[in-house]
């Protein structure tokens, strides 16, 4: 009986211990859950306070921009707009002109101040061909502004206004320090709702944009709509890291695909606008692109990234420095080049008069070339210099698809070309889709053969070409 009693006591003690352990565990879990909820609440409150602080700090430095463009439309005498707006084709009425005003809205960021003059950065497409520009400040004051400068290549514009008030200047951040997943806020006037703040993250960096724009872009899901253009994209330190510029949409409104110009791409532009009235771009004097897969393979470029040189302006910094068609630029001043657009930006941001060092892959070997950068010429002037580029056309390898599309015999080897009008190559008789099979008697089997042959010391080059399955020779002078 005693033994049985001891067993009962042990069982009782064990049950009590298990109960205590379970109770403590439950209490710990409940306490942990409570602490977790409270910690989560604190984190959310901290984020909320951060958003509040950033908005309070940034909003006064972002303005709404209002533009007016005056358009002239010819109308028959006696017709009253808008009711009689269709002119009969057989009308003999005299035509008179009538002015119409088109209004536009956008956003801008106050970036500089000198005495009572303030400068506002925005997009070129916001200002457009405006005849009148004004800004609405955070305190609702509306002030007339003047255009300081416009730049289509980066879609940037700078305007200025005068105010006796002390207005805050936006803090510029470092867009190179952004990471995918970082929190950002978009500040501007979407659809005319001034002083609007939206939040999101950096969705991607280094995005390509419209073909005529040389910037790379920050992609964000912070809501951006029409009217946000020119406004600020800011980090959680309240620093401007981007200028909101465009959206990708199938509906005309934000679907979470907004794009901003990185602020590091605009800092030099601000200085140039104020000092020169325009953005001053460095110029090397080449036509470039990203190489296709076959070009990379045939010229042993697959292990590198860079910009492929198709043509060189003869009397340009590139021509004087000895850069050649077929060179693959992989580095500019110790900066690795990822693609041709980055190369364009890198050279464009270098001041005229500076000497740069290019690391180039030529004939499978890496060499260094130094070049003295010049000021970029105007677009029309560059077009007029087309007859000064060498060789004056773009050479491409022939793959199976090209041969099939143009009914080219499988056994035919060479390079197929694209020629611009106005070049020496066009004047010599070369045309689009000509196939170059030999240069000065050297058989062309691939792209490497072609560039080795076209870059020798000759002054005249005898090109054997195939056009419409017929052979002929064309002499190209360098």
Domains of the chain: 50-76+97-280 (2.40.10.120), 282-385 (2.30.42.10), 391-477 (2.30.42.10)
- What pairing do the DSSP bridges indicate for beta strands 415-419 and 435-439? antiparallel
Q: What confidence score (pLDDT) does residue 92 get? A: 56
Cα 379 to Cα 389: distance, rounded to the nearest angstrom:
15
Q: What confidence score (pLDDT) does residue 45 get? A: 83
DSSP 8-state assignment for residue 264: G
Q: What confidence score (pLDDT) does residue 32 get? A: 56
Q: What confidence score (pLDDT) does residue 1 get? A: 40
The annotation places the binding site at: 125, 155, 227-229
**Cβ 229 vs Cβ 196: under 8 Å:** no
DSSP sequence for 24-80: HHHHHHHHHHHHHHHHHHHHHHHHHHHHHHHHHHHGGGEEEEEEEEEEEEEEETT--
The chain-wide mean pLDDT, for the chain, equals 89
Q: What confidence score (pLDDT) does residue 38 get? A: 66
Peptide bond into 82 cis (omega under 30): yes
Write out residues in the chain with pLDDT < 50, as ranges.
1-8, 10-13, 15-18, 20-21, 27-30, 79-88
The annotation places the binding site for substrate at: 125, 155, 227-229
Cα–Cα nearest to 187, from 177, 176, 195, 179? 195
Q: What is the pTM of this model?
A: 0.81
Cα 156 to Cα 176: distance, rounded to the nearest angstrom:
19
Cα 85 to Cα 81: distance, rounded to the nearest angstrom:
6
371-400 pLDDT, tens digit per residue, is 999 999 888 888 888 889 999 999 999 988
Q: Which residues are catalytic?
A: 125, 155, 229
Three-state DSSP state, 203: strand
């Amino acid at each position: 009986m005693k033994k049985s009693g001891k067993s009962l006591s042990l069982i009782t003690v064990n049950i009590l211990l298990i109960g205590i352990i379970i109770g403590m565990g439950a209490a710990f879990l409940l306490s942990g859950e409570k602490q977790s909820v409270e910690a989560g609440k604190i984190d959310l409150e901290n984020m909320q306070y951060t958003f509040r602080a950033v908005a309070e700090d940034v909003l006064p430095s972002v303005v709404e921009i209002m533009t007016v463009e005056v358009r002239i439309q010819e109308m028959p005498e006696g017709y009253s707009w808008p009711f009689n707006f269709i002119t009969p084709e057989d009308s003999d009425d005299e035509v008179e002109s009538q002015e119409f005003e088109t209004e536009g809205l956008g956003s801008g960021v106050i970036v500089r101040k000198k005495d009572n003059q303030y400068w506002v950065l925005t997009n070129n497409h916001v200002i457009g061909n405006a005849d009148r520009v004004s800004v609405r400040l955070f305190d609702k004051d509306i002030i007339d502004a003047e255009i300081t400068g416009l730049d289509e290549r980066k879609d940037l514009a700078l305007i200025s206004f005068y105010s006796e008030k002390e207005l805050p200047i936006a803090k510029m951040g470092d867009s190179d320090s952004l990471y995918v997943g970082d929190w950002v806020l978009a500040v501007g006037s979407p659809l005319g709702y001034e002083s609007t703040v939206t939040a999101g993250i950096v969705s991607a960096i280094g995005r390509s944009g419209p073909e005529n724009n040389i910037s790379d872009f920050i992609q964000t899901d912070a809501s951006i709509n029409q009217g946000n253009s020119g406004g600020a994209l800011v980090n959680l330190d309240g620093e401007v890291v981007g200028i909101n510029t465009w959206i990708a949409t199938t509906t005309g409104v934000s679907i979470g695909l907004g794009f901003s110009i990185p602020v590091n791409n605009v800092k030099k532009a601000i200085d140039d606008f104020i000092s020169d009235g325009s953005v001053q771009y460095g110029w090397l004097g080449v036509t470039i692109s990203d190489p296709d897969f076959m070009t990379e393979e045939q010229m042993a470029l697959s292990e590198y990234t860079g910009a492929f040189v198709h043509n060189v302006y003869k009397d340009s910094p590139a021509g004087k420095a000895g850069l050649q068609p077929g060179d693959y630029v992989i580095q500019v001043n110790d900066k690795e080049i990822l693609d041709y657009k980055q190369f364009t930006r890198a050279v464009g941001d270098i001041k005229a008069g500076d000497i740069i060092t290019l690391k180039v892959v030529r004939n499978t070997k890496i060499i260094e070339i130094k070049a003295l950068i010049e000021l970029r010429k105007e677009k029309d002037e560059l077009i007029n210099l087309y007859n000064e580029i060498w060789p004056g056309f773009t050479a491409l390898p022939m793959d199976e698809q090209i041969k099939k599309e143009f009914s080219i015999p499988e056994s035919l080897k060479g390079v197929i070309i694209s020629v611009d009008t106005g070049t020496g190559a066009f004047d010599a008789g070369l045309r689009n889709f000509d196939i170059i099979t030999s240069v000065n008697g050297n058989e062309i089997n691939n792209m490497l053969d072609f560039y080795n042959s076209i870059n020798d010391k000759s002054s005249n080059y005898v090109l054997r070409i195939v056009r419409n399955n017929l052979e002929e020779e064309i002499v190209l002078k360098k």
